[in-house]
Each structure stands twice: as C-alpha cells, then as structure tokens.
C-alpha cells in the first residue's frame, strides 16, 4: 500500500519535471551528512541527493544533473545557509581538478568526518554491533599541505600549449596542476620544468583518442629525508626521436633528479605503467628514510605517499602488535617490506609477501642493508602464500595486512580463521572493504580498537589500523 502511494508520488514528481523539461530542476536541500567521496547528502522526497561541495547543516539550492531510481545527483547553485565549518579552498583549480574533495571543510572537521566514515561503514557491513567508542580520534597533521612525495601527471596538449596535470573529475579535460598544494613543492618543480622541456624540444605528447604520440605520463618521487628524486617518463616506445636530447636537457635543467627511468606503455589503458622499465641515467632507485630506517625504492614499488604520517601509522601498528620478541609475524601485502622491518627487532621471525617482484627485491635489499636476518620476503599473492605456509606448519602469532583498496581475498581470510593467530592487524585505505572483511572474521575475532590516521589531508581518503583479537 505504502509502496504504491510512493510510486504515485514519484510519477507526479516526474510529470512535473517533464512539463518543465527544458528548464533545469532546482531543489532546496538541507544537507544531513557527508558520503564516502566527501559529497554532501540531503534528501528530496526520501531520495538521497548527492551534492559535491555542500556541507552538513547547510541549506543549498541545487540543480538536478541526473535522477536515478534510488538517488539524485545535483550541482550546487547557491548556498542559502552556510556552515560555520566552511573555509575558502586555497587551491585555484580545486573544483575543476577533483583530486581533493575536502578543501572547503575546516581541517579538524575533516578528521572528524574520516572517523565518522569508518563508523558508517561498520554500521553498514558488520552484522554484529560495534561499540563506536573503540574508534579513536583521527591522527592528523599540523600542516596538512605539501605532504605528497609522489606525483603522477598526464602529459597533454591544449592547442599549442603542453599541459601537465590530471584529468578533471569525471571528464577528459586535462587540468594543469603543476602548482598542486598537497604535493611537496620539489615534485611540483620537476613537473613544471618537464612541461617546459617537452614544449621546447617539441616531443610529441600522447593523444588518447588517436592513440599516437610519445610521452604519456611523468612520475616524480622524492625522498623527503634524503632529497633524492626519481623521475620516470612513461612513453609509448622505448626509442623515439630526440630521446638523447631529452635526457641531456633533463640532466641540465633538473640536476636534482638523481634517478631517471623510462617505462614503456603502449596500451589503450588508464593504468600508468607498462611492463618494461629502462634505466636512463643516475641511480636505478632512490632512497628514503623513515625514523632512521632506510628504504630503497624502485620505480614500480609502492611506497606510502605521506612520509610524516607513515611514521605515525607504522608506530601505531607497532603499539597494538605489542611484540615481545617471541612472535612469528606475517606482513602481508608488504610492498618494499616497510611494516615488517619496522617490527623485526621485536619479533622472532617475519615473513612478508607481495605481488610486485621489484618491490620484493627492494624489501630483501632493505633488510640486508639494515643487517636484519629474521625477515623473509616472497613474491606472489597473499592468498596463495598463506595456505602454503599453513600446510608447511608455519603458524604465525600475529598477522598484519595492508591490502589495496579492494581489500583481502576471501581465501586469505578463510586461511586466517584456520590459523587463528592471536592478533590480526588490518591497515586499510578503504573503510568499505575493511568493514566487509572484518565482518568475515567476526565469528573468530573481536574488534579491539580502530585508529584512523590522516594520510591524505584535503581528500576523502580514509586510512586506519584495526586491531582484532582472537575470541
Ligand atoms: N605495506 C606496504 C604496501 C601496502 S600497499 C607499505 O606500507 O608500504 C599494498 C601492496 O599490496 C602493494 O605493494 C601491492 O603491490 C600489493 N598487492 C596487491 N595485491 C596483492 C595480493 N593479492 N597479494 C599480495 N600483495 C598484493
């Protein structure tokens, strides 16, 4: 009955819209909360309305951009009542770029929002009730800008100008962001110079539509502590006209680059890297230090993007792991071995696994350099190694995972439930997959604490460390 009534109401509303179909539909919405992409969410006739840039508590006039069966997307036209937490976004291309989603929200509130998103995900995906007080306050930054150690910028051309930047939100327009405020200025300097070099030498830039041209992407990574910089040029071919000249110009104009590499990607893909990486000049890797622990990083290896917050993140893992020196530890999804090395001196044995072979090689070298001999790294998926280790009789006391956004594979989680380590520590960059994976472990484990750490200020990305203990 109710549903029928609702249907009728919906038809009426649609009818009204159709009558004025040439005019955009405007609505007055009160924003109730924020969603996972930092958008404001209000309601219109019980349907959720998503408005990018609107804040909780605000009354906004919006224009409907698209109506779906279950929700509406709308663009903000005017703010009628402004939130006291609204601040002026300092970046000129904030709205067009879309790389940041929270610059208009006071930083303390960004931190509160991130904690809240974890709570929302748990409420949504974990069947068992979770006490909200176990989620701690988000650990933030004093200066939440200039923090990123790596930039990956697409190269394009608009008329006669070379552009180095990112594709705007949901569009194929390249936005110049060589002055990005969340990037370390040294990475911006490299991008800016590269733009000039490519223009001066007239190197053909890659055109997605025609699938032609040479230079696609420039990736810059800086070691904050060491000052070393790696520049990776992603091109469609290994050899191309003026390649030697390009290398010479980079050496001349960017002497701060200590490692210059070339990666070849000739696929029609949104993935940055292709299979093959070549050394052009300088070293083949850069070094970075986190709290005196040194790491060698090769081009393809993952490394956390915010070094200052990474130290806080790893220290938090160390704190909840409470190792005594007797434990066997697994560092799953180990990258260049960072977490395992952070804990090695307090553990009996550490095993890590990772799919990118270069990262595993880096991990081994990093352990060797530190003179750590109780860690072992393996190439392959976490879900294939863990069952193998179990069969061999390896029974870890603590398992730490740090998976990509997609979360852990089911096979992995099932094996964890069979091994039953005393502690399971989940470092997550995605509250939704975190909550789903936690739900899968609830029959055997109890959530003790969740500590959000702000790795990406100004964006809606949420990182956290969850401690689970065997029931
Ligand atoms: N713990 C590391 C890396 C975390 S990022 C650090 O803090 O730096 C996640 C890592 O998981 C990436 O290096 C990625 O290459 C790797 N990875 C992705 N899928 C995987 C899988 N199924 N098994 C093992 N590693 C995987």
pLDDT in the model for residue 22:
66
The yes or no reply on domain 21-86 and CATH 3.40.50.300 is no
Helix (H) or strand (E) holding 261: strand 257-264
- pTM value is 0.92
Query: Do residues 54 and 75 lie in contact, with contact meaning Cβ atoms separated by under 8 Å?
Result: no
How far is it, in rounded angstroms, from Cα 113 to Cα 107?
10
- Topology match between the domains 21-86 and 112-142+306-470: no
- Going from the Cα of 344 to the center of ligand 1, the distance in angstroms, rounded, reads 18
CATH of 112-142+306-470, one of 3.40.50.150, 1.10.10.10, 3.40.50.300, 3.60.15.10: 3.40.50.150
408 is catalytic: no
pLDDT in the model for residue 9:
43
- The set of residues, in sequence order, having a beta carbon less than 8 Å from that of 150 and lying 6+ positions away, is 187, 219, 220, 221, 222, 303, 305
Query: Do residues 426 and 357 lie in contact, with contact meaning Cβ atoms separated by under 8 Å?
Result: no
How far is it, in rounded angstroms, from Cα 376 to Cα 399?
14
| 150-290 fold | OB fold (Dihydrolipoamide Acetyltransferase, E2P) (2.40.50)
CB-count burial class (<10 Å; 0-12, 13-18, 19+) for 168: middle
Ligand 1 proximity of 463 Cβ (cutoff 6 Å): no
Strands (E), 18-81: 26-34, 40-44, 47-51, 59-67, 71-81
CB-count burial class (<10 Å; 0-12, 13-18, 19+) for 81: exposed
How far is it, in rounded angstroms, from Cα 245 to Cα 242?
5
The pLDDT tens digits along the chain (471 residues) read 344 444 444 444 444 444 445 678 999 999 999 999 999 999 999 999 999 999 999 999 999 999 999 999 999 999 999 999 999 999 999 999 989 999 999 999 999 999 999 999 999 999 999 999 999 999 999 999 999 999 999 999 988 899 999 988 777 789 998 899 999 999 999 999 999 999 999 999 999 889 999 999 999 999 999 999 999 999 999 999 999 999 999 999 999 999 999 999 999 998 999 999 999 999 999 999 999 899 999 999 999 999 999 999 999 999 999 999 999 999 999 999 999 999 999 999 999 999 999 999 999 999 999 999 999 999 999 999 999 999 999 999 999 999 999 999 999 999 999 999 999 999 999 999 999 999 999 999 999 999 999 999 999 999 999 999 999
HSE of 166, CA atoms in CB hemisphere, 13 A: 17
pLDDT in the model for residue 117:
97
- The set of residues, in sequence order, having a beta carbon less than 8 Å from that of 115 and lying 6+ positions away, is 135, 136, 137, 138, 452
Ligand 1 proximity of 231 Cβ (cutoff 6 Å): no
CB-count burial class (<10 Å; 0-12, 13-18, 19+) for 416: buried
Ligand 1 proximity of 402 Cβ (cutoff 6 Å): yes
How far is it, in rounded angstroms, from Cα 396 to Cα 322?
14
pLDDT in the model for residue 8:
40
How far is it, in rounded angstroms, from Cα 393 to Cα 248?
55
Substitution site in 307, 316, 339, 354 for ligand 1 pocket (most atoms within 8 Å of beta carbon):
354
- Going from the Cα of 271 to the center of ligand 1, the distance in angstroms, rounded, reads 16
Substitution site in 403, 425, 437 for ligand 1 pocket (most atoms within 8 Å of beta carbon):
403
> Which is the closest atom of ligand 1 to the Cα of 304?
8
3-34: buried (b, 16+ CB within 10 Å) or exposed (e) per residue?
Answer: eeeeeeeeeeeeeeeeeeeeeebebebbbebb
Q: State the Rg of the chain over Cα.
A: 25
HSE of 446, CA atoms in CB hemisphere, 13 A: 7
Question: Across the beta sheet with 445-453, what order do the strands follow?
Answer: 375-379, 349-354, 328-332, 398-401, 423-428, 463-470, 445-453
- Alpha-helical segments (H) within 371-453: 382-392, 410-419, 431-441
Going from N- to C-terminal start, the domains of the chain cover: 21-86, 112-142+306-470, 150-290
- The set of residues, in sequence order, having a beta carbon less than 8 Å from that of 266 and lying 6+ positions away, is 236, 237, 274
261-293: buried (b, 16+ CB within 10 Å) or exposed (e) per residue?
Answer: bbbbbeeeeeeebbeebbebebebbbbbebeeb
- Going from the Cα of 404 to the center of ligand 1, the distance in angstroms, rounded, reads 6
Query: Do residues 280 and 247 lie in contact, with contact meaning Cβ atoms separated by under 8 Å?
Result: yes
Ligand 1 proximity of 334 Cβ (cutoff 6 Å): yes
Query: Do residues 28 and 80 lie in contact, with contact meaning Cβ atoms separated by under 8 Å?
Result: yes
How far is it, in rounded angstroms, from Cα 333 to Cα 402?
6
């Amino acid at each position: 009955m109710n549903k029928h009534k609702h249907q009728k109401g919906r038809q009426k509303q649609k009818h009204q819209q159709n009558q004025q179909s040439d005019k955009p539909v405007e609505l007055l919405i009160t924003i109730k909360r924020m969603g996972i992409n930092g958008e404001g969410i209000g309601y219109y006739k019980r349907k959720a309305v998503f408005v990018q840039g609107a804040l909780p508590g605000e009354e906004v006039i919006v224009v409907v951009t698209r109506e779906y069966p279950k929700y509406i997307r709308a663009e903000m036209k005017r703010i009628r009542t402004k939130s006291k937490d609204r601040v002026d976004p300092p970046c000129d291309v904030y709205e067009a770029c879309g790389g940041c989603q929270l610059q208009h929200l006071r930083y303390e509130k960004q931190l509160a929002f991130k904690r809240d998103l974890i709570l929302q995900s748990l409420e949504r995906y974990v069947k068992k009730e979770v006490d909200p007080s176990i989620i701690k306050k988000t650990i933030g930054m004093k200066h939440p800008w200039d923090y990123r150690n790596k930039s990956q910028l697409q190269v394009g051309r608009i008329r006669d100008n070379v552009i180095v930047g990112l594709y705007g939100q949901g569009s194929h327009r390249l936005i110049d962001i060589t002055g990005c405020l969340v990037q370390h200025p040294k990475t911006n300097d490299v991008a800016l110079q590269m733009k000039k070099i490519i223009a001066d030498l007239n190197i053909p830039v890659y055109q997605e539509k025609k699938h032609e041209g040479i230079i696609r992407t420039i990736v810059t990574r800086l070691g904050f502590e060491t000052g070393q910089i790696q520049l990776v040029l992603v091109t469609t071919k290994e050899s191309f006209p003026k390649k030697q000249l390009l290398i010479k110009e980079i050496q001349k104009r960017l002497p701060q680059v200590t490692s210059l590499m070339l990666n070849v990607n000739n696929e029609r893909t949104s993935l940055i890297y292709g299979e093959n990486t070549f050394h052009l000049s300088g070293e083949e890797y850069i070094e970075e230090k986190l709290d005196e622990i040194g790491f060698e990083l090769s081009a393809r290896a993952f490394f956390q993007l915010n070094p200052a917050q990474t130290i806080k993140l790893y220290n938090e893992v160390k704190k909840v792991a409470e190792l005594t020196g007797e434990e066997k530890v697994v560092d799953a999804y180990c990258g260049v071995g960072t977490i395992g090395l952070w804990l090695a001196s307090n553990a009996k044995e550490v095993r890590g696994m990772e799919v990118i072979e270069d990262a595993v090689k880096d991990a081994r070298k990093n352990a060797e350099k530190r003179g750590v001999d109780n860690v072992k790294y393996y190439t392959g998926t976490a879900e294939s190694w863990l069952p193998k280790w179990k069969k061999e009789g390896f029974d870890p006391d603590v398992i730490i995972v740090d998976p990509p956004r997609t979360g852990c594979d089911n096979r992995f989680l099932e094996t964890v439930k069979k091994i039953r380590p005393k502690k399971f520590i989940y470092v997550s960059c995605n509250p939704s997959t975190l909550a789903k994976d936690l739900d899968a472990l609830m029959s055997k484990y109890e959530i003790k604490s969740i500590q959000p750490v702000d790795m990406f200020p100004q964006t809606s990305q949420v990182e956290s460390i969850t401690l689970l203990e065997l029931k």
